[in-house]
Amino acid sequence: MYKCTFKHNIFALIIELPMKFLKTRNVLDIIAGILTFFSFVFALLSSISPFIHPANFKIGLFASILLPFTLLFSILMLVYWLIRKEWLFLLPLISIVINSGFLISTFQFRSEPKFSIYEENETLKIISYNVHEFMHINSQLSIGRVREFVSNENADIICFQEFDASNQLHINELKNYFDDYPYYAISESNNENIGMAIFSRYQIINWRKINFENTGNGYLWADIKIAKRLSVRVINVHLQTTSLGQQNLAEISRLKKFISNSSIRALQSESVSNLIDTTSHSIIVCGDFNDSPSSYTYEKIKGKSLIDGFREAGYGFGGTFNGFKGIGKLYRIDYIFHSRDFLSIKYTTPHINISDHFPVISELVYQN
More confident call, 135 vs 358: 358
> Considering the chain, what percentage of its residues have pLDDT values greater than 70?
89
Would you say 223 and 233 are in contact if contact means Cβ atoms under 8 Å apart? yes
Element (H, E) at 271: helix 252-277
Give pLDDT, residue 210: 95
- pLDDT for 183 beyond 90: yes
- Does residue 134 have a pLDDT over 70? yes
Q: What is the pLDDT of residues 276-324, one digit of tens each?
A: 999 988 999 999 999 999 999 999 999 999 999 999 999 999 999 987 7
Backbone angles phi, psi at 280, to 5 degrees: -90, -20
Contact predicate 188/195, CB 8 Å: yes
Q: What is the pLDDT of residue 283?
A: 97
Per-residue pLDDT tens for 19-48? Answer: 655 566 678 888 998 999 999 999 999 999
Q: Is the pLDDT of residue 220 over 60?
A: yes
pLDDT attached to residue 254: 58
Average pLDDT, the chain: 88
Which DSSP symbol is given to 1?
-
Question: How far is 291 from 237, CA to CA, in rounded Å?
Answer: 12
Phi and psi at residue 193, to the nearest 5°: -130, 145
Strand, helix or coil at 12? helix
Give the least confident one: 52-56, 157-161, 197-201: 52-56
What share of the chain has pLDDT > 90, as a percent?
Answer: 63
The confidence score (pLDDT) of residue 238 equals 97
Is the pLDDT assigned to residue 113 strictly greater than 80? no
Residue 269 binned pLDDT confidence (cut-offs 50, 70, 90): very high
Residue 16 has pLDDT above 70, yes or no: no
What pLDDT sits at residue 206?
Answer: 96
Q: How far apart are CA 15 and CA 22, in angstroms?
A: 11
- Give just the sign of the alpha carbon dihedral 28, 78, 94, 49: positive
Q: Are strands 306-308 and 316-317 parallel, antiparallel or unpaired?
A: unpaired
What pLDDT, on a 0 to 100 scale, did the predictor assign at position 170? 85
Q: Closest Cα partner for 97 from 16, 40, 32, 154?
A: 40
Tell which residue, 224, 235, 223, has the closest CA to residue 202. Answer: 224
Q: What pLDDT, on the 0 to 100 scale, is given for residue 19?
A: 62
Torsion sign (Cα): 286, 292, 293, 298: negative
pLDDT at 323 (0 to 100): 79
What is the reported pLDDT for 228? 81
